[in-house]
């Protein structure tokens, strides 16, 4: 049985980038609820994840000026389910300007003990590639467990003509219960963390060009760069550069609102075990009601 971790970019890719293809609309005058779903898969590392978000959004401005028209406050609940774990979380997001928002949240993470969940390691310098994890799993070292993630996630975005640029980061603090070893493998981030408490960050920079502006069928494509860094484990830094395509599939299809396809192919610039190798991610994001 192979590993089924999921690169954390899937959630960022769907939830964060989905606004890039949303149709322009008059800002609401009162609060509104949104329900969003997603399903995604990845290769190298192999992964599968289903996501669901329930959002309550309040506008903070009635101005029509582009810099203030999308100012808002959002409260949300989020779920990320894979064959290895379930992440349940709550967050608050504030956008004082249309070009900037900041999200603060907390997620308990439940590892099922399947695949390579909660594998214990002696330190940051331990070998944790696919083969090493498979060997530990074969020894019965994969266990069920609980961890927690708190994070602050700022996002800056701008649009000039057909060009859209977006910079997103997540500053994260982790703690886990891992009785067999002081460090554990976190499948969402595909990295080793100190179970007693650790800090890390991920960052994504995306620039896309609108190839098509047809209502409901926008097509965007461009380069994307991602970085993952655990502050006390510089040798385990991960960095990749790739191309992303975002395709709107219509305003409504099969009961989904604004279904959008996201595809990314990338080259590992830095990684303890995947350097100079290729990876790919594919996801579908959609609304399911209000």
Q: Does 13 fall in a domain?
A: yes
Instruction: Please report the pLDDT score of residue 2 as a whole number.
Output: 44
**21 or 126, higher pLDDT:** 126
Residue 145 falls inside a structural domain: yes
Q: Please tell me the distance from the alpha carbon of residue 191 to that of residue 129, in angstroms, as a whole number.
A: 9
How many Cβ atoms from other residues are within 10 Å of residue 58's Cβ? 13
> Does residue 238 fall inside a structural domain?
yes
pTM, two decimals, is: 0.87
Q: What is the pLDDT of residues 234-285, one digit of tens each?
A: 999 999 999 999 999 988 887 788 999 999 999 999 999 999 999 999 999 9
Note whether residue 43 is domain-resident: yes
Under 8 Å CB-to-CB from 36, ≥6 apart: which residues? 15, 18, 51, 52, 53, 55, 285, 286, 287, 288
Residue 237, in any domain of the structure: yes
Q: What is the pLDDT of residues 199-225, one digit of tens each?
A: 999 999 999 999 998 887 899 999 999
pLDDT at 289: 66
Q: Side-chain half-sphere of 243: how many Cα atoms within 13 Å?
A: 5
b/e map of 230-262 (b: 16 or more CB within 10 Å)?
A: beebeebebbbebebbbbbbeeeeeebbbbbbb
Tell me the CATH number at 13. Answer: 2.40.128
191 Cβ contact list (under 8 Å, min separation 6) = 185, 200, 228, 230, 233, 236, 238
Residue 3 lies in a domain: no
Q: Can you read off the two tokens belonging to residue 77?
A: 């609940």
* 40 touches 13 (CB < 8 A): yes
Whether 148 is covered by a domain: the verdict is: yes
Q: What is the total count of domains within the chain?
A: 1
CA angle 246, 130, 268 (to 5 degrees): 40
Residue 184 lies in a domain: yes
- Cα–Cα distance, 221 to 206 (Å, whole number): 10
Residue-wise pLDDT for 143-183, tens only, equals: 889 999 999 999 999 999 999 999 999 999 999 987 788 99
Range of the domain at 91: 9-289
**Assigned token pair, 155:** 């996002």
CB 171 within 8 A of CB 198: no
Mean pLDDT of the chain: 89
DSSP per position, 125-167: TS--SHHHHHHHHHTT---EEEEEEEEEEEEEEEEETTEEEEE
């Amino acid at each position: 049985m192979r590993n089924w971790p999921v690169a954390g970019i899937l959630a960022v890719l769907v939830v964060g980038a989905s606004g890039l293809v949303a149709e322009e609309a008059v800002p609401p005058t009162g609060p509104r609820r949104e329900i969003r779903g997603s399903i995604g898969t990845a290769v190298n590392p192999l992964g599968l994840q289903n996501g669901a978000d329930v959002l309550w959004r309040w506008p903070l401005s009635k101005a029509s000026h582009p810099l203030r028209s999308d100012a808002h406050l959002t409260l949300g609940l989020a779920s990320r389910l894979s064959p290895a774990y379930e992440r349940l979380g709550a967050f608050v997001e504030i956008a004082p300007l249309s070009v900037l928002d900041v999200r603060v949240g907390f997620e308990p993470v439940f590892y099922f003990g399947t695949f390579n969940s909660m594998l214990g390691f002696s330190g940051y310098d331990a070998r944790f590639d696919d083969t090493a994890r498979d060997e530990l799993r074969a020894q019965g070292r994969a266990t069920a467990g609980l961890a927690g993630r708190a994070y602050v996630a700022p996002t800056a975005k701008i649009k000039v003509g057909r060009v859209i640029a977006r910079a997103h980061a997540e500053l994260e603090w982790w703690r886990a219960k891992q009785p067999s070893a002081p460090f554990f493998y976190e499948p969402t981030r595909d990295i080793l963390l100190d179970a007693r408490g650790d800090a890390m960050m991920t960052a994504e920079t995306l620039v896309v060009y609108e190839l098509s502006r047809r209502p409901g069928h926008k097509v965007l494509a461009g380069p994307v760069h991602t970085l993952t860094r655990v502050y006390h484990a510089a040798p385990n830094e991960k960095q990749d550069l790739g191309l992303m395509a975002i395709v709107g599939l219509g305003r409504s299809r099969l009961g989904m609102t604004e279904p959008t396809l996201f595809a990314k192919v990338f080259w590992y610039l830095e990684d303890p075990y995947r350097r100079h190798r290729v990876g790919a991610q594919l996801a579908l994001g959609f609304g399911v009601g209000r």
